[in-house]
Chains A and B, each alone.
Chain A
């Protein structure tokens, strides 16, 4: 009997657990450890955040799904990895803290033969004073946050209907944030919603970002072939904002937020401030603060994890300047170089470096997006890792599957307004996600496979994806036929 333990039940963890269960024999066990009782289809949180959906429509309770498929579910937070066991117990295990209040503070051992770390990000609102739902800004990172944001928006819309003018600030709340795509999606949906509710003329909307140019999205931007030209994504993003009357601030590091006011530094070193009545600012991410110990109880966290708390895998972590970054730096198997039975999937793996060019302000503050690792790549990594683990259980010497972000593309649909007849969305594909200037010397990507287009068709695709991926998350009949 082999024990596979998956930490996390987000896109990567849930995918890995589901495929591992499907491919393993009944004598083997698959256990998922997640602090939350529900799976959250995060891309649709945007619609919760503008009040179009309730949180229940973007979440799936995990316990019944896992019970139906023979996956053990422990609602708990992972605290420690003991890849060599301990002095009294040589079998590898993770220590978890159950979520039930009655058992809070006590650690439980969960033994494993293979461990997949898919813990996702820790939302680091604490990196910026006053940032986050406990401070003075809102978020759409979780379904609960998004519901709070929608409630705040409803209140403001009511006041606008009584004639008040309001200022909305949307974007990222720190110079090192990722997920600019989500902030972008939220701001255009917010604008659409304010129009639909008849108060757009009383709203000033400002977008603030750490991107050097709009449309960077943490991928160093992209080039698209349209209208006889190969055009940078910044042109399309600026056009979308200008058309909707959204103002924008780029190259900004938000340093502090007070009630109704955000203070930020620019890449040029200027200190500025921006007032607001409503602010939805996404936080920077780190890993989830897992500790690791060897058999003697010695702390080996720094061997398994990078300083940003993401897990080291088969990437090239040697620091090097932007000009020397290579597609080959990116991991392929996601296996820990320290322990062959330990893998990371999704946001939990440590990228070798950013994708966007790193930049710092004169004061030394880094102002550049971190690399995105969500959605399609996370699911594909989760599946590849599950296949490797299953093959290793069946006798392979090492990982059998790869899922390098420098070798895979991504299809992405960013909603720009939700309505079956008047809504639009930006449909994008990039190939590969991480530019490969050796294969594609001019732009780093295959121009024939990298495209973007805005229209109602994109909105229909977004709706289709919402239902398809929630169906897949429920592991209903034929779930495995839906591609990642």
Chain B
């Protein structure tokens, strides 16, 4: 029996084919583009709000 080239990878979480497909599936990624941007804008706004007058 032969093992994997790097035995470390046996103990690591790996993405399924579906997950890999979604990573570059255009309709899904367009939606994620909007969603991630909104999340980031939220973080930026919250961070700017925290820098109020000392």
Contact = CB atoms under 8 A, between A and B. Distances in A.
A427 B53 CA distance: 30
Contacts of B12: 235, 238-239, 241-242
Contacts of A241: 12
Contact of B30 (A424, A457, A484): A457
A384 B54 CA distance: 11
30 contacts: A235-B12, A235-B13, A236-B13, A239-B15, A245-B5, A332-B54, A376-B44, A384-B51, A401-B53, A402-B53, A407-B50, A408-B47, A409-B44, A410-B43, A411-B39, A411-B40, A431-B43, A431-B46, A449-B39, A449-B43, A453-B32, A453-B36, A455-B22, A455-B29, A457-B29, A457-B32, A461-B36, A461-B40, A483-B44, A484-B44
Contacts of A443: none
A247 interface: yes
Contact of A422 (B24, B36, B51): B24
A461 B24 contact: no
B47 A456 contact: no
B11 to A, nearest CB: 8
A93 interface: no
A247 B6 CA distance: 7
B18 interface: no
B23 A449 contact: no
A233 interface: no
Contact of B54 (A238, A399, A451, A461): A399
Nearest to A248: B8
Nearest to B6: A247
B23 A456 contact: yes
B6 to A, nearest CB: 6
A455 B23 contact: yes
Contacts of A376: 44, 47
B24 A243 contact: no
B54 A333 contact: yes
**From B13, B28, B30, residue with most partner A Cβ within 10 Å:** B13
Nearest to B42: A449
Q: Is the interface of A mostly helix, strand, loop or mixed?
A: mixed
A404 interface: yes
Interface in A289-346: 332-333
A403 B6 contact: no
B9 interface: yes
Contacts of A403: 51
Contacts of B53: 400-402
A429 B54 contact: no
Contacts of B24: 421-422, 424, 455-456
Interface of B: 5-6, 8-9, 12-15, 22-24, 26, 28-30, 32-33, 36-37, 39-44, 46-48, 50-54
A58 to B, nearest CB: 21
A449 B32 contact: no
Interface residues of A, number: 46
Nearest to A483: B44
Contact of B50 (A404, A411, A422, A460): A404
A243 B8 CA distance: 12
Nearest to B53: A400
**From A242, A245, A453, residue with most partner B Cβ within 10 Å:** A242
Nearest to B44: A483
Contact of A449 (B6, B28, B37, B46): B46
A384 B48 CA distance: 9
A129 B51 CA distance: 42
Contacts of B5: 245
Contacts of A449: 39, 42-43, 46
Nearest to A405: B47
Nearest to A333: B54
**From A333, A421, A427, residue with most partner B Cβ within 10 Å:** A427
Nearest to A465: B40
A483 B48 contact: yes
A408 B52 CA distance: 11
A458 B36 contact: yes
Contacts of A362: none
A242 B9 contact: yes
Contact of A409 (B23, B26, B29, B47): B47
Contact of A242 (B8, B30, B54): B8
Contacts of B43: 409-411, 429, 431, 449
A64 interface: no
Given A398-B54, A449-B43, A242 B14 contact: yes
A265 to B, nearest CB: 20
A365 interface: no
A332 B53 CA distance: 10
A458 B24 CA distance: 10
A427 B36 contact: yes
A9 interface: no
Given A409-B46, A410-B43, A411-B43, A243 B14 contact: yes
